[in-house]
């Protein structure tokens, strides 16, 4: 049976666009579908870690609005210090522009793009996939579900049954231009205020992005944390451009991301860092791996999409799983790590090297060598302490300098 396309991709975020680009570069007939009209806003801090720029095969400088060299850290909206790096470690983009740029790259490579058309259902048959939109149904040999945290593909084909959701609020704000002149190379990070999660401020070209994120269990406290963080920041708001909450899905062990003809990538596959919420790099990397696997299948070089799932497990998921012990240590004793970051340059260097993709999370575990039982016992104890903190958490009347000013 002839089909309309080799591959149909649902969702034109970083995972979908880059998968479309990669497949089109292999001369595959690709249709990329998104429910929004581009450029479109996406709830996101827009912080690209340095490894994104290293990973992409084309120059992204036209969409980078700020290069970050400095961090102002605070603990419980107090005990603030500034650290400087010689090299940039984060590039700030506006997601509407960055994502539209990636779609343009996919189209230039030869992918077809259908916007303002939501995928409403996916049906997997023996020899094809049927992708339904309100206007039309399309067929293809394979499909990539890259439709994000709320996408329809995973549930349509019975994938991703085990996901943990984190929640974040992000707002974009016009501020006094003098703040951007002074702090255009600096991000603000606050931690230890809630038992899980942190707050951030990223400068953009002509505005800032402010956000707070935490686990689903603590989500009812997020608005309060957000308000306190805004009061704490040394910045005068001129106008709020947007304010939204969104989910960050975290894949759990054993959650399938492929069927015979459908592969999930990016947020649809829950590939985000459970500690930082970083997802753009993993979206691009998984989109590229899905594209490569499907190209190999079409060439007859491999037999099944399991190849893709195995690669994701080995090259992405294993390192994301290695985050958990560190996250439990950090959440159990944020003040201790904050202090170390301030007083011991090695810890700040390790932080920068992770963001730059020069160091893997798993390297901390490996240092324990034959004494893995000690590492395991320590992080299990930290997890226990973290749980107690979560159960007993309520906002103190006064946290940091800001609470006393709160309206």
Please provide the distance, in angstroms rounded to a whole number, between the alpha carbons at the two ends of the chain: 66
Q: Which is nearer to ligand FAD, 281 or 329 (CB)?
A: 281
Q: Which is nearer to ligand FAD, 228 or 332 (CB)?
A: 228
- To ligand FAD, the closest distance from the beta carbon of 256 in angstroms equals 17
Interface residue list for ligand FAD (CB under 6 A): 10-16, 33-36, 42-47, 118-119, 146-148, 151-152, 168, 170, 211, 246, 248, 266-268, 272, 277-281, 283
- To ligand FAD, the closest distance from the beta carbon of 3 in angstroms equals 19
For the chain, helix, strand, coil in percent to 5 are 40, 25, 35
- To ligand FAD, the closest distance from the beta carbon of 304 in angstroms equals 23
- To ligand FAD, the closest distance from the beta carbon of 117 in angstroms equals 7
Q: Which is nearer to ligand FAD, 257 or 332 (CB)?
A: 257
Pair of tokens at residue 225: 């944390």
Q: Is 308:293 a contact under the CB 8 Å cutoff?
A: yes
Residue closest to ligand FAD (Cβ): 279
Please count the other Cβ atoms lying within 10 Å of the Cβ belonging to residue 276: 20
Cα separation, 116 vs 36, in Å, equals 5
- To ligand FAD, the closest distance from the beta carbon of 219 in angstroms equals 12
Cα separation, 82 vs 325, in Å, equals 26
Which residue from 255, 252, 293 is spatially nearest to 141, judged by alpha carbons? 293
Q: Which is nearer to ligand FAD, 285 or 399 (CB)?
A: 285
Give the three-state DSSP class for 2: coil
Q: Where are the beta strands (DSSP E) in 14-136?
A: 30-33, 47-49, 66-68, 70-75, 78-84, 90-92, 112-114, 119-124, 129-133
Q: Which is nearer to ligand FAD, 209 or 332 (CB)?
A: 209
Q: Which is nearer to ligand FAD, 203 or 277 (CB)?
A: 277
- To ligand FAD, the closest distance from the beta carbon of 336 in angstroms equals 26
Torsion of CA 364, 366, 369, 371, to 10 degrees: 60
What distances in angstroms separate CA 382 from CA 164, 320, 324, 387, one per listed residue? Answer: 20, 18, 11, 9
- To ligand FAD, the closest distance from the beta carbon of 376 in angstroms equals 29
Q: Which is nearer to ligand FAD, 150 or 377 (CB)?
A: 150
- To ligand FAD, the closest distance from the beta carbon of 370 in angstroms equals 35
Name the DSSP class of 367.
T
Q: Which is nearer to ligand FAD, 192 or 270 (CB)?
A: 270
């Amino acid at each position: 049976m002839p089909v309309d396309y080799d591959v149909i991709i649902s969702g034109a975020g970083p995972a979908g666009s880059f998968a479309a680009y990669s497949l089109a570069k292999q001369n595959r007939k690709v249709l990329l579908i998104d429910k929004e009209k581009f450029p479109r806003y996406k709830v996101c801090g827009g912080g690209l870690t340095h490894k994104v720029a290293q990973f992409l095969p084309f120059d992204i400088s036209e969409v980078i609005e700020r290069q970050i060299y400095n961090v102002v850290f605070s603990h419980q909206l107090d005990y603030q210090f500034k650290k400087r790096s010689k090299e940039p470690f984060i590039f700030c983009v506006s997601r509407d522009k960055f994502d539209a740029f990636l779609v343009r790259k996919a189209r230039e490579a030869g992918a077809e793009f259908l916007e303002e058309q939501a995928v409403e259902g996916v049906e997997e048959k023996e020899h094809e996939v049927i992708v339904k939109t309100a206007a039309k149904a399309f067929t293809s040999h394979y499909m990539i579900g890259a439709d994000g945290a709320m996408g329809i593909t995973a549930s349509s084909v019975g994938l991703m049954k085990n996901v943990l959701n984190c929640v974040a609020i992000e707002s974009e704000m016009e501020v006094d231009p003098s703040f951007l002149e002074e702090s255009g190379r600096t991000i603000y990070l606050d931690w230890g205020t809630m038992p899980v999660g942190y707050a951030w401020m990223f400068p953009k070209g002509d505005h800032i992005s402010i956000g707070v994120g935490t686990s689903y269990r603590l989500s009812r406290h997020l608005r309060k944390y957000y308000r306190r963080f805004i009061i704490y920041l040394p910045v005068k708001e001129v106008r709020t451009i947007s304010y939204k909450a969104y989910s960050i899905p975290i894949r759990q062990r054993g959650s399938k991301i492929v069927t015979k003809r459908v592969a999930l990538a990016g947020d649809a596959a829950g590939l985000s860092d459970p500690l930082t919420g970083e997802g753009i790099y993993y979206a691009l990397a998984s989109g590229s791996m899905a594209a490569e696997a499907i190209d190999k299948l079409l060439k007859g070089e491999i037999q099944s999409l399991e190849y893709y799932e195995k690669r994701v497990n080995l090259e992405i998921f294993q390192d994301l799983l290695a985050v958990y012990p560190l996250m439990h240590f950090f959440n159990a004793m944020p003040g201790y790590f904050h202090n170390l970051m301030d007083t011991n340059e090695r810890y700040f260097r390790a932080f920068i090297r992770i963001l730059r993709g020069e160091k893997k999370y798993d390297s901390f575990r490996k240092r324990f060598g034959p004494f893995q039982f000690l590492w395991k016992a320590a992080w299990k104890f930290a997890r226990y302490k973290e749980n107690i903190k979560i159960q007993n958490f309520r906002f103190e009347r006064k946290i940091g300098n800001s609470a006393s000013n709160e309206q």
